Structure 1
């Protein structure tokens, strides 16, 4: 007795898995080429050839090079290709579950460093290309806005633990966290100044706690 429907379901599942594997391979290759040659000097044809697919296949999957760069950055930020935002992942839930502001910030410092260690190289590629390419400039602006949204979530949690949810206080916390969680700051101290990742993590934790615990005296 044959079961064509089951066979079709199997074939569809297999095709989806193959398509996903191809997309992931394209992103890995694109990331490597962007890091090696920069954004402008890397063509879709080069990415296709290195990935073992046709150029139309790359365009069909990502619709353009800027989308490939965005996917490369998104993948670096979260560490995989699963469609789960950073704020919805266990490490961030652990931050929000912390009993005190100090503990929340210590946990968040570890997340900052974990993300920056993966994302800084490709993040720097985007920033280097932004001045010459309006699409990349828009992508960088969007990344900054995403970080600001994430910083707002953390600021809200910290303000709650501190017992001070005044909007001006939350805004101060948000902007402080947004500044300190930039991958570019990681690049300055770890890549340019030679700090160890461990030293950077301790410094970020200390800075976050010192700058966000007192009531701000600045107007925001």
Structure 2
């Protein structure tokens, strides 16, 4: 007698993937909190694993290295709803309004990102990998500042590339999370006051000096 073929059930890995995502998010939250509280050097992967309720190999499987864990913590803090903020800037009817909307976005990002960004900056002197991470973050900020500068220049009809470069560098300097730290964390400014100051400074500096060459 011929037996009917055995039906093999396909393995469903969706539950495992979902658990991996949950673990990853929890690890990132815990690591961010510990980095902010104790700094990069004083926070170990073992501590992160213990507080996240996972094994140390699980942390390494998810993030590969402690440096990458810090990088993703910074990226998550900077991320937020940046696409919506960028869209509002690019859709602004005038250059002045674009700068005001950009100041809103700068304040929003700095409020989220400064605490963990400051951790990376503090660790950069002692760790070349963290120094490279901070340099990479600065390059990304410069690229983003260039997009905003190009938009603002187009809205005011300015085709002079040297002027665009001046505005890019001005935006890059003013959107640094470290500047937020100086005024809000060290000097005690409200976030709203910082936002208004950035808007005023950007508007005042948007008209570049004639000798600017970049």
TM-score (norm 2): 0.93
- Higher alpha-carbon Rg: 2
Given the alignment, which residue of 71, 91, 99 partners 1:97?
91
Q: CA deviation at 1:206?
A: 0.5
Hey, what does 1:182 align to over in structure 2? 176
Deviations 1:139-189 (A, max 9, x none): 000000010010011011001011112211111011000000000000000
1:107 equivalent to 2:101? Answer yes
The aligned length equals 208
Task: Give the Cα separation in 2 of the matches to 1:62 and 1:165.
Answer: 44
Q: CA deviation at 1:217?
A: 3.5
Task: Give the Cα separation in 2 of the matches to 1:147 and 1:3.
Answer: 52
Task: Give the Cα separation in 2 of the matches to 1:216 and 1:206.
Answer: 21
Structure 2 contact 141–172 (Cα < 8 Å) conserved? yes
Q: Which runs of 5+ in 2 are unaligned?
A: 1-6
Structure 2 contact 114–180 (Cα < 8 Å) conserved? yes
Hey, what does 2:4 align to over in structure 1? none
TM-score (norm 1): 0.90
Hey, what does 1:120 align to over in structure 2? 114
Q: Which runs of 5+ in 1 are unaligned?
A: 81-85
Task: Give the Cα separation in 2 of the matches to 1:216 and 1:13.
Answer: 60
1:129 equivalent to 2:123? Answer yes
1:66 equivalent to 2:67? Answer yes
Q: CA deviation at 1:79?
A: 2.7
